[in-house]
Amino acid sequence: MMGNEMMEWSCTINGSDVQLTVPATERLVTILRDRLQLTGTKIACEIGRCGACMVLLNDEPVNSCLLMAYQCDHQQIVTIEGLAPSNDDELHPIQQAFIDEGGFQCGYCTPGMILTTKTLLDAHPEPSLEQIEKALCGNLCRCTGYGGIIRAVQQAACTKAAKPLQE
């Protein structure tokens, strides 16, 4: 794929099938934010170093600023908007743990932190401190000292937050 060649792009995003005509080289973060209005996915460094644009691609955390449309065509994507149960009044246990433990200040990094935590707890339901720190190393927070974030991950693990996403 070269340049601005248009493509028919389809994915399952937060459980819904999405079909768009997009430039093959349009970044996933742009598709999510500008075309689909899923603004929980943040834009910050734009070079894959901060984790603010983190989404789950086939259950793996990825920086959506680094993915082009053609690279994620026909894939499963979950954004922060798709993490909570289908009932809009409920939060996912990881989201609640971040609130309970003060795992955020400005909140800009929080969606990426939460999605990374989801992947960590799916793989390691009772992670060690070292596993938590290693998992979160691709997510930068410029406001906190990470204490509340680590406590939030530990609380989420205690509440068995690694349960599968609601269908």
List per-block mean pLDDT (blocks of 10 residues) for the chain, which spans 167 residues.
Answer: 81 97 97 97 94 97 97 97 81 94 92 96 96 95 91 92 50
> Taking the alpha carbons of 133, 94, 33, 13 in that order, is the dihedral positive or negative?
positive
Confidence (pLDDT) at 4: 74
Strand order in the sheet with 6-13: 16-23, 6-13, 76-78, 54-57, 60-63
Confidence (pLDDT) at 38: 97
This prediction has a pTM of: 0.90
Contact 79, 98 (CB under 8 A): no
Confidence (pLDDT) at 2: 56
Q: Among 85, 67, 3, which residue's Cα sits nearest to residue 29?
A: 67
Confidence (pLDDT) at 166: 47
Q: What sections of 49-126 are H helices per DSSP?
A: 93-100, 110-123
Confidence (pLDDT) at 65: 97
Per DSSP, 81 falls in state: G
Confidence (pLDDT) at 3: 58
Contacts of 88 (CB under 8 A, 6+ apart): none
**Three state DSSP letters for 2-45:** CCCCEEEEEEEECCEEEEEEEECCCEHHHHHHHHCCCCCCCCCC
Confidence (pLDDT) at 32: 98
